[in-house]
Amino acid sequence: MSEELLHPDEALRLVLEAGRAAFRASLGGGTESLPLAAALGRHMPAAILATLDQPPFDKSAMDGFAVGMSLEEARRFGEGRQAVWEVVGTIAAGSAAEAGPGPGRVHRVMTGAPLPPGTAFVQRVEYTRAFEGRDDRIVFELREKSDNIIRRGENLRAGDILLGPRRLGPADIGILASSGFAKVSVARRPIVGIISTGDELEAAGATLGPASIYDSNGPQLAAQVEALGALPKFYGIVRDEEAALRGALERALAECEVIVLSGGVSMGDFDYVPKTLEALGVRRIFHKLAMKPGKPTWFGTRGTTAVFGLPGNPLSTFVNFEVFLGPHLEARMGVEGRSRILSLPLGAPLSRKSADRAEYLPVRLAREGEGGRSVVHPLDYHGSSMLSVLAEAEGLARLEIGVYSLPEGGHVDVRLLRS
């Protein structure tokens, strides 16, 4: 066995490089401006700078009274007698600030209200009582430990980075709105053509012949593409026949930015994918990886179009998308590094018979023992056709090349699955 197998880390580097090159080539035409309400889940490739100080004015963190004296002075003001403060006005959130309080005089302020100039601290309402039942005279219990003021620019200053490049989540939408952005510039969604190859395949809903199986890769890849924020376009099931494959690929190459095929990349008599792609001018970047599942994976480019030929086994198709295609699509949309990989201890010892490839194992996570630390349990499965194992999987643990066994407590890198 003297096959040249590429390390998956090197394969990822090449796949990301192709994604970045496509992103650079698309700059200008690669983004669109969307209202915030339509931007959830979209990829924002450029950092956004704050245009406002946050908060934009000194404001009260409490319902209470704005006091012009420092806490020390206020204590002296009340020494040896009961200090009675005169309430000279009320400032609600949203009202304009008023002239500053004078000695012994305070403004009633609501949380979020702009503070009168010269306010030294806010006495919260819980530590006060009305003097002789009057609401324009107040008595303080001076227990404040902080000034209860949120200063202008304390959270963020104009010109600071408001948000770095990212896929926009609900919090990001809130952050953009808080700085007054009604629109945001996001990457266009790349069109990803999906082709299922195999004479044995039938679409869900059809009747199965004695030697046929349902196409699960097509719908699953379309869902993975969609979940990642790109646009899937399904070209159907294509028979293992050169002319049919060529026809589907020609259409997909004309219409898509990324193409993903499943099946037909191995060494079988009917595995036409690599040679058909090369005949259509798709330049091979790699074929065959030192990984399990996913060894026969093929990747190439034509201009900025990227083509992935994934092995047909459903689990390897799934793993391949997680490890290569997803990161490639993100790089194409100008946002990288979203895979979440944690180093976690195994909940039980683990061993395998051969270690010439990096292996991705579906795992579940559990909190065990004292303190409930998180541990990893590989799920029981019988090879890469057993897609149903993914129903229980929360992550993919990677066993490195050369590692035959790991003890309980030994650490593995776990890629958390996108939910």
Which residues lie near ligand AMP (CB under 6 A)? 196, 198, 200-201, 213, 215-218, 262-264, 266, 268, 311-314, 385
Instruction: Give the residue with the Cβ less far from ligand AMP, 148 or 262.
Output: 262
Nearest approach, Cβ of residue 215 and ligand AMP (Å): 4
Instruction: Give the residue with the Cβ less far from Mg ion, 203 or 348.
Output: 203
Label the pairing between strands 183-187 and 105-109.
unpaired
Q: How many beta carbons lie within 10 A of that of residue 351, not counting itself?
A: 11
Instruction: Give the residue with the Cβ less far from ligand AMP, 263 or 300.
Output: 263
Q: Which does 200 bind (CB under 5 to 8 A by kind): Mg ion, ligand AMP, none?
A: ligand AMP
Distance, CA of 75 to chain centre: 51
Nearest approach, Cβ of residue 316 and ligand AMP (Å): 8
Nearest approach, Cβ of residue 194 and ligand AMP (Å): 10
Instruction: Give the residue with the Cβ less far from ligand AMP, 55 or 219.
Output: 219
The long-range contacts involving 219-227, CB below 8 angstroms and separated by at least 24 positions, are: 220/314, 220/317, 220/318, 220/387, 221/194, 221/260, 221/262, 221/317, 221/321, 222/194, 224/318, 224/321, 224/322, 224/325, 224/326, 225/192, 225/194, 225/260, 225/329, 227/418
Q: Which does 54 bind (CB under 5 to 8 A by kind): ligand AMP, Mg ion, none?
A: none
Q: Which does 274 bind (CB under 5 to 8 A by kind): ligand AMP, Mg ion, none?
A: none
Query: How wide is the angle at C-alpha 389 spanned by C-alphas 384 and 392, nearest 5°?
Result: 150
Nearest approach, Cβ of residue 29 and ligand AMP (Å): 33
Label the pairing between strands 405-406 and 350-351.
antiparallel
Tokens for 57? 């004015």
Instruction: Give the residue with the Cβ less far from ligand AMP, 165 or 219.
Output: 219
Instruction: Using CB under 5 A, list all residues that contact Mg ion.
Output: 198, 263-264, 312
Phi, psi angles (nearest 5°) of residue 181: -80, 120
Q: Which does 232 bind (CB under 5 to 8 A by kind): Mg ion, ligand AMP, none?
A: none
Instruction: Give the residue with the Cβ less far from Mg ion, 178 or 266.
Output: 266
Nearest approach, Cβ of residue 14 and Mg ion (Å): 25
Nearest approach, Cβ of residue 378 and ligand AMP (Å): 22
Q: CB–CB of 276/242 below 8 Å? A: yes
Instruction: Give the residue with the Cβ less far from ligand AMP, 60 or 297.
Output: 297
**Type of residue at 259:** I
Nearest approach, Cβ of residue 252 and ligand AMP (Å): 16
Distances (CA, A) of 393 to 75, 337, 347, 366: 62, 22, 15, 12
